[in-house]
Structure 1
């Protein structure tokens, strides 16, 4: 396995995670949030995956990321199929995974200079 030093510059990256929190650039966050490489939307008002609707993505969709990574906590939980279909039909990729996998995947995509958004439910 080849190891190399990641160069994220001034971009937001996940530097840690655990039960009920994520760390972005070594700052602990304990509430749901949306993360872009250049901006963080804290206190994302989502109660659960089951209550997600298109309006919850109003801060994400206008930015037209290539992909949205939905981190659903310790276990994978899929939102309503109609919601996922609407996002995908708008030309934006949408992947659902547990929060730890979403954090790791986000970091890889940021390093590849991809336009990514991580929507994290803690």
Structure 2
């Protein structure tokens, strides 16, 4: 909470300082390095601009190599999040993800518009059979690392969209 508060108080100063800086002129020689924007935008990882989220909505608040924190509760292992429902999910490795492990999406209503698949530490190539299965349910599939899956789920859920996440712990590397 203290980190978030510092980020929120630092953001107006950052914006003011960025507005005061003159626009950079392109260098005449191509060997000059461009300034890094990473420092200017690194606060994005620490703050949530959508602050008035209802208490009954799920929000990923953190992750570890073995699980996730959602709405203040620590969950170990893989999870399925559909709307505002959290379920323990059996796959422990990316290779364990099959149409059978995602069969819940044949019956869940309302049908999520997108399933965010958290692959663990690295993005993995999704088996074509799994892609076909998810497409057959009318859901779009996006495979990303689990950290980004949690963030994307938060943003889409906060926008009021019907979204689902199937996430492996961040420590899973293959």
* Structure whose residues are more often strand by fraction: 1
Q: Is 1:10 matched up with 2:56?
A: yes
TM-score norm. by structure 1 comes to 0.88
Report Cα offsets for 1:43-100 as digits up to 9, x if no partner. Answer: x111321232111112233222111111011111123112112212331010100000
What is the deviation of 1:20? 2.0
Any stretches of 5+ residues in structure 1 without a counterpart? none
- Alignment-derived partner of residue 72 in structure 1: 119
From the two aligned structures, give the one with the greater helix fraction. 2
How far residue 106 of structure 1 moved from its aligned partner, in angstroms, is: 0.1
Contact 2:62 2:70 in 1 (8 A): yes
TM-score scaled to structure 2, two decimals? 0.64
- My pick for the range that moved more, 95-104 or 45-54, is 45-54
For 2:107 and 2:143, the matched residues in 1 are separated by: 20
Residue 49 (str. 1) matches residue 129 (str. 2): no
CA contact (8 A) 1:60 1:117 kept: no
- The 8 Å contact of residues 115 and 166 in structure 2, kept in 1 or not, is answered as yes
Q: Which of 27, 34, 37 is matched with 2:83 structurally?
A: 37
Aligned-residue RMSD, C-alpha: 1.9
Number of corresponding residues: 121
Choose the corresponding residue for 2:107, options 53, 59, 62.
62
Does the aligned pair in 2 maintain the 1:74–1:98 contact within 8 Å? yes
Check conservation: 1:21, 1:28, Cα contact below 8 A.
yes
Aligned with 2:104: secondary structure?
coil
Secondary structure (helix, strand or coil) at the match of 2:86 reads strand
* Greater length-normalized contact order (CA 8 Å, ≥ 6 residues apart): 1
